Amino acid sequence: MDRLWNVAVVGATGAVGNEMLRILEERDFPLQKLHLLASERSEGDFLEFRGKEIPVEKLSADSFVGIDVAFFSAGGECSRDFCPIAVAAGAVCIDNSGAWGTDPDVPLVVPEVNPDEIAGFARKRIIANPNCLSTQMVVALKPLHDYARIRRIVVSTYQSVSGAGQKGIDELRVQTGELLNGRPGDCKVFPHQIAFNCLPHIDAFLESGETLEERKLAEETRKVLGDPDVGVTATAVRVPVFYGAGESINIETERKITIDKARELLTGAPGVELVDRPAAEDYPMPLDAAGQDLVCVGRIREDMTIENGLNLWTCADNIRKGSATNAVQIAEILVGKYL
């Protein structure tokens, strides 16, 4: 009989935590027991899983006794504090917060791109899930990078409010309703009105003028692709969309990739759906990407301003493939091959 595993989800009541429960159920992860962990204010709540109501427990230093795999989706501070505690109790942590992504001893994994890196979990017994936009981009670029090596990436991201969690979703919903009824909407999560607006600002600004989100996107892309020499420059924008994210990507490669060759490389690539029939007005949109796990790629065209340039547009569900699904895929490989 195949082994069953004791699993904890930290941040179970948040947007990603809730989605993780759905993914674990959809993919029939081999669970023995599931522990739902959150802050004190959620203690005593119940969440449904496989037709049963499971109580939410308060996260504490004793929460990880007997746990085999712990998913973390409760923010960087929580992950930095509690991942070492979970590891000391015997668990392997799969972290979605970004707290461990640049640690050289922690694998940063997208299963369609670098699954063999999971073997390095033993160094700290922590595996990092990349930023959702990093995940989306490397899934699309991996086949192109393998064929012609990418020298430079210029990317602009169009990120939905769900990237800021349930509070971000609620703020867009409430603001939209208030504004449509002629009343001003409060700004509590975002620094400016997000309804009917776009904010070129995600995460803290650094002295360089870039944001932490933009720097992470560059650093994580290089790490997952396993190529520290790829140049990456990014602009991250929050848009008034509930779910899904878009990326406008321009790449420069060592040798030319024609439009037809790019379509050939992307057709059937792991985790990719080619949606590129411009004459039929068929191209990726966040609305279509939401609720599924593929990275949709389209609007493929040559950049005529440089010798080996290519433009493409991608969309994906930032909560699913960008976060919850990617983490569960990592866990599937971990328990199937390494534990």
pTM for the full predicted model = 0.95
Q: Which residues contact 52 (CB under 8 A, 6 or more apart)?
A: none
Q: Which residues contact 63 (CB under 8 A, 6 or more apart)?
A: 8, 10, 35, 37, 57, 82, 86
Distance between CA 273 and CA 295 in Å, rounded? 6
Q: Which residues of the chain have pLDDT under 50?
A: 1
Give pLDDT, residue 265: 98
The values of phi and psi at residue 267, to 5°, are -65, 120
Beta bridge partner(s), residue 71: 9, 94
Closest C-alpha among 28, 24, 227, 57 to residue 138: 227
**Structure confidence at residue 1 (pLDDT):** 44
Q: Are 145 and 225 in contact (CB under 8 A)?
A: yes
Domains assigned to the chain: 5-130+323-338 (3.40.50.720), 133-318 (3.30.360.10)
Give every CB contact of residue 320 below 8 A, 6+ residues apart in sequence.
Answer: 19, 23, 291, 292, 293
d(CA 195, CA 245): 16
Burial class, 277, CB count within 10 angstroms (exposed 0-12 / middle 13-18 / buried 19+)? exposed
Strands of the sheet containing 231-238, edge to edge, are 231-238, 150-159, 245-253, 309-316, 295-303, 272-274
pLDDT at 2: 81
The pLDDT, as a whole number, for residue 26 is 97
- Check residue 122 and give its pLDDT: 96
- Could you tell me if residue 245 is left (phi over 0), alpha (psi between -120 and 50 degrees) or otherwise beta? beta
